[in-house]
Amino acid sequence: MVDVFLLLGSNLGNRQLFLNEACTGIVLQVGRIVKRSSVYETQSWGKTDEPDYLNQVLQVSTALKPREVLERILAIEKSLGRERLEKWGSRTIDIDILFYDNEVINQPDLVIPHPHLHQRKFVLEPLAEIAPQYIHPVLNKNILQLNNFKDSLIVKKL
């Protein structure tokens, strides 16, 4: 079993319900949720004219390989109505792999650790809540150190 950290995000419809349904899908298809952060409300990133997001980070214990995790979370997104119409567009649910154990993977459709996590307060705030001392395997800094930067995006713990 390995630990995988996942970021959940929703900015359409009943955002909390989509987060809850994603968690249910993850338990059924990926593995046991070991820890979950609080839910954070976050201004839209990338396309700033979109509705605010609810975000949450999960630590999940899984026996699946990284590609299997990706395939299953994409299936969960699809089952919850996710449509990929435009980059950074609104979505019912988004599930990103932040870390898979301490592995570094760089494939065209699978990059782990998530390549932008260290630049996004809406990822670092909830991640720091549940894994503050976790070491980023590429940057060799813990999450608290990475979270020590200024970001104008409002990230509010609910």
Catalytic, out of 15, 36, 72, 91: 91
Catalytic, out of 15, 36, 94, 120: 94
Give me the amino acid identity at 54: L
Helix (H) or strand (E) holding 84: none
What's the confidence (pLDDT) of residue 85?
Answer: 59
Instruction: Name the domain count of the chain.
Output: 1
Whole-angstrom Cα distance, residue 109 to residue 115?
A: 12
CATH number at residue 36: 3.30.70.560
Check: CB of residue 4 under 8 Å from CB of residue 97. Answer: yes
pLDDT digits (tens, 9 = 90+) for 65-117: 999 999 999 999 989 987 665 655 578 899 999 999 999 999 999 999 999 89
Q: What percent of the chain has pLDDT over 90?
A: 75
**Domain range for 55:** 2-157
Active site residue 109: no
Q: What percent of the chain has pLDDT over 70?
A: 94
Active site residue 151: no
Higher pLDDT, 48 or 14: 14
Active site residue 96: yes
Active site residue 91: yes
Catalytic, out of 52, 82, 120, 151: 82
